Structure 1
C-alpha cells in the first residue's frame, strides 16, 4: 500500500465531458478533482472493488 496521502493523475478527456463534470461538481459544491474521486469511488463500489479509506488527507492539529 502507498504511504502517500495523494497522487497526481493526468488524463485527456473530451472537453464536453470535462465541462459536464465541472457542472456536476458545481451543483454539488465540489472541486472537479473531488467530483472525479467521488465518481471513481462510486463506480468501484458498484463493481465490488474495495478501496481502503484514509483517515485524513490533512495533518491533525495537536492541542485541541
Structure 2
C-alpha cells in the first residue's frame, strides 16, 4: 500500500523558523502547509514536475 503522505524533517535557524511561523499565521495556515504552498509555487514557476508513478502490479 502506498502512503498518502511522507515526513520531511529539516533544520533551520530560529530566525527562519520564526519567519515561517509569522507568514503562516498571517495566511491562516500551518507551517507545513505554508512550506508546501511555497515549494509548489516555486516548482510551478520553474517548470519542475514529478513523473507520475506507475501502480505496482501484483
> TM tier, shorter chain?
0.7 to 0.9
**Deviation string, structure 1 residues 8-61 (Cα, Å, up to 9, x no partner):** 000001111111011000000000000000011011111101258xxxxxxxxx
* TM-score, normalised by the number of residues in structure 1: 0.71
Determine the C-alpha separation between the residues in 2 that align with 1:22 and 1:9.
17
Specify the alignment match of 2:12 in structure 1: 13
Unpaired runs of 5+ in structure 1?
53-64
Gap change, CA 1:23 and 1:46, over 3 Å in 2 = same
Larger % of helix: which?
2
* TM-score, normalised by the number of residues in structure 2: 0.77
Moved over 3 A (4+): none
Between the two structures, name the one with larger relative contact order (CA 8 Å, sep ≥ 6): 1
Determine the C-alpha separation between the residues in 2 that align with 1:32 and 1:16.
14
* Number of residue pairs aligned between Structure 1 and Structure 2: 50
